[in-house]
């Protein structure tokens, strides 16, 4: 990722943090709309799952300038997700739900450059997770 992309991801995520509970709910609603077969993979309290999602995103965003240091944690997360039944194709659905959620939450602040920056970020992370799952 380029420094300008990292800055855009960080600044846009800072605008999502105040609405994190609603953003997480939107994300899962969209995820299950895109692929209803994913719903059974989530067995616990969805509000808690949403808090975990937002915390994980916060950690990633905070450390984007040190992606190489995030790699072990991302790989560990991928191993856990594989154990839950997550498949390669699910990462694409998650990415689509994430981008849609950011667009809804940020409104006009979700520019083409912001979209491209988030796509670059997600592509790197999902690629790492897919490589572990393979």
Q: Sketch out the chain's domains with CATH numbers.
A: 3-133 (1.10.490.10)
CA distance 109 to 15: 9
CA distance 58 to 81: 19
- Residue 43: its pLDDT value, please? 85
DSSP string, the chain: --HHHHHHHHHHHHHHGGGHHHHHHHHHHHHHHH-GGGGGG--S-HHHHHHHHHHHHHHHHHTGGGHHHHHHHHHHHHHHHHHHT--HHHHHHHHHHHHHHHHHHHGGG--HHHHHHHHHHHHHHHHHHHHHH-
- pTM value? 0.90
- Residue 81: its pLDDT value, please? 75
40 to each of 43, 77, 84, 86, how far by Cα in Å?
Answer: 7, 19, 10, 11
- Digit-by-digit pLDDT tens for the chain (134 residues) are 899 999 999 999 999 999 999 999 999 999 999 999 999 988 889 999 999 999 999 999 999 998 888 888 888 887 777 677 678 788 899 999 999 999 999 999 999 999 999 999 999 888 888 888 66
């Amino acid at each position: 990722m380029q420094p300008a992309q990292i800055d855009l991801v960080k600044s846009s995520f800072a605008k999502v943090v105040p609405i994190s509970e609603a953003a997480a709910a939107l994300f899962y609603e969209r995820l299950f709309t895109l692929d209803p077969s994913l719903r059974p993979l989530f067995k616990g309290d969805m509000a808690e799952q949403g808090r975990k999602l937002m915390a994980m995103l916060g950690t990633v965003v905070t450390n984007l300038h040190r992606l190489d240091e995030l790699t072990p944690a991302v790989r560990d997360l991928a191993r856990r997700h594989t154990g839950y039944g997550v498949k390669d194709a699910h990462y694409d659905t998650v990415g689509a739900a994430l981008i849609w959620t950011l667009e809804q939450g940020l409104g006009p602040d979700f520019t083409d450059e912001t979209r491209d920056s988030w796509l670059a970020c997600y592509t790197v992370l999902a690629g790492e997770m897919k490589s572990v799952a393979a």
